[in-house]
Structure 1
Amino acid sequence: MTDHGARTAPPRAVVLDTDGVLIDSAAVHAAAWKTAFDGCLPRWAAGAVNGESFDADADYRRYVDGRSRYDGAVAFLAARGIRLPAGTADDQPGCDTVRAVAARKEQAFRDALRARPVTGFQDASRALTALSSLRVPAAAVSASRHARALLASADMERLLTAVVDGEGAAGLGLAGKPDPALFLHAAHVLGVRPRHCAVVEDALVGVLAGRRGGFGLVVGVDRTPDRHTTDALREHGAHLVVTDLMECVEAVWGVEP
């Protein structure tokens, strides 16, 4: 854990990412992206600068984690030197347009959820309960349109003051991370200014978004077994890096785990 420095008062509210911070769904998203991309790479090989298969750890964190499906697909394809037409929202799962690839990922993710429902992290439930007892409002944000349903199934939605998911963001025309629009909207819903609010994120683009939005505290969460994202989270601007959300509650609000 890193020292976030002396503060006169703890944040008045908290905005937390959903996938990988509150619920154990990041690995399911990563596997779905791998299914989507690797199934198409042989068709794209002739036009690819780099035809290597999708790395469900490094590529996931670098290109798609925290982004909308469309933006994530664009980022990975660009990194591989692959150009596809954007397509339309009605495109069926396939390999010929960016939206078709995004639809492949959505299909793979839904299939995975039917096989193994995701669960909430125990430390996340404890942390949200502690924040609620302190009357510190908390909002969950996610680029995923599944976030609200997954939070409800993990019995976490009841502990949150607000949820801003991919569907709500799309309806409001909010840009995806690393743009801070999602976080800024969530802080507005909670009734606090960014400088009086904390952001908690496991994605590098999410940490960047928190810093760009002027949030008073940006907390990185490293749940990897060997803590190999800690340095990157710091480099992208996290004031504090934790492995457990109760570490954050203890360090920032003085609540014992």
Structure 2
Amino acid sequence: MNKNLSFEAVIFDMDGVITKTALTHAAAWKKMFDEYLKKREKEHSEKFVEFTHEGDYLPYVDGKPRYKGVASFLESRGIDIPFGDPSDNPDKETVCGLGNRKNIAFNQVLEEEGAEVYPSTAALIDELKKAGIKLGVASSSKNCKPVLERVNLLDVFDARVDGVVSAELNLHGKPEPDIFTTACDMVKKTYSKSIVVEDAVSGVQAGVKGKFGLTIGIARENNVKELKEAGAHIVVEDLEEIGGIEGLNKVFKEFSK
């Protein structure tokens, strides 16, 4: 490992940080919820109010485990339905059923359009790998593995903690730090010598709660203010602003004093 570097590991979120799939998720959530809300309008005479990106997706769903996102949004609308079971049919009116319905929509888009990576993130990952820095990916998504396979990055990471692993280990979702700390534990590095890179408010909150040496917020959603308020040490619109591994080291030293 490069002895000039002050940090030992970097844990990346996936959607919106490594891959351009955050908007794919957002579109799948909107499709599912709008269809469900229109159905409720017909069956319960509830006025249809569309699911919006700014008003609903970002505050209630973004970055959270799938079923937690469903429950959070429904609670915001005063809708009370059974939680159900993860094995529920997508047509079942439960939190899990709705979550499974959203997942079908996401996978259809992934199958048809594939996935892209952010060039600056891919370049930084490559630089970090060559320098011997341990790399982890921590995502709420149960689609993490297939997405990373699509963009040929699965084998780059020394640890992967996603929605599937979280369920197996019974981890708490963001804003709790479990997925980040578990990824860090897997690569046998201390939190204070590690970096979290996130684009969601709940993810930044998780990095801060985990007492990581540096938590970087990437403002893909014109949400610089929200990420700073969540506790991010530094907020950028793209990782190219960091200045590669040397820039990252400089920022880490500045904030981990």
Q: Report whether the alignment pairs 1:22 with 2:18.
A: yes
Q: Alpha-carbon deviation of 1:161?
A: 1.7
The residue that corresponds to 1:244 in the other structure is: 238
How far apart, CA to CA, are the structure 1 residues paired with 2:94 and 2:224?
35
Write the distance in 1 (CA, Å) between the matches of 2:55 and 2:249. 33
- Note if contact 1:145-1:165 (Cα within 8 Å) is conserved in structure 2: yes
TM-score (normalised: structure 2)? 0.89
Question: CA offset at residue 72 of structure 1?
Answer: 0.3
Q: CA RMSD in A?
A: 2.0
Aligned residue in 1 for 2:65: 68
What is the CA distance between 1:234 and its match in structure 2?
Answer: 0.2
1:210-238 CA-to-partner distances (Å, cap 9, x unmatched) read 111111111001124xxx21111000000
Aligned residues with identical type, % of pairs: 35
- Give 1:242's aligned amino acid: V
Structure 1 unaligned regions, length at least 5: 1-7
Q: 1:222 aligns with which of 211, 216, 219?
A: 219
Are 2:66 and 1:92 aligned? no
Equivalent-residue separation in structure 2 for 1:244 and 1:158 (angstroms): 24
Can you list the C-alpha shifts for 1:18-60, whole angstroms capped at 9, x where unaligned? 0100011001100110111100102334486x85211134422
* 1:28-67 correspondence runs (5 A): 28-45=24-41, 46=44, 51-67=48-64
Work out the number of aligned pairs and report it.
244
Cross-structure match for 1:157: 154
- Provide the residue aligned with 2:229 in structure 1: 235
Distance 1:33 1:47 in 2: 22
| Equivalent position SS for 2:174 | coil
The alpha-carbon deviation at position 178 of structure 1 amounts to 0.6
Secondary structure of 2:67's aligned partner: helix
CA distance in 1, matches of 2:54, 2:151: 24
Q: Distance in 1 between matches of 2:209 and 2:103?
A: 29
**Counterpart in the other structure of 2:6:** 10
Match of 1:172 in 2: 169
Structure 2 residue runs without a partner (length 5+): 252-257
Partners of 1:10 and 1:252 within 8 A in 2:
no
2:167 partner SS: helix
Q: 1:91-118: CA deviations, max 9, x gaps?
A: 1113621111111101111111122111
Q: Distance in 2 between the 1:235 and 1:23 partners?
A: 24
Letter in 2 for 1:233: L
Q: Which TM-score applies when normalising by structure 1?
A: 0.89
Distance 2:217 2:77 in 1: 28
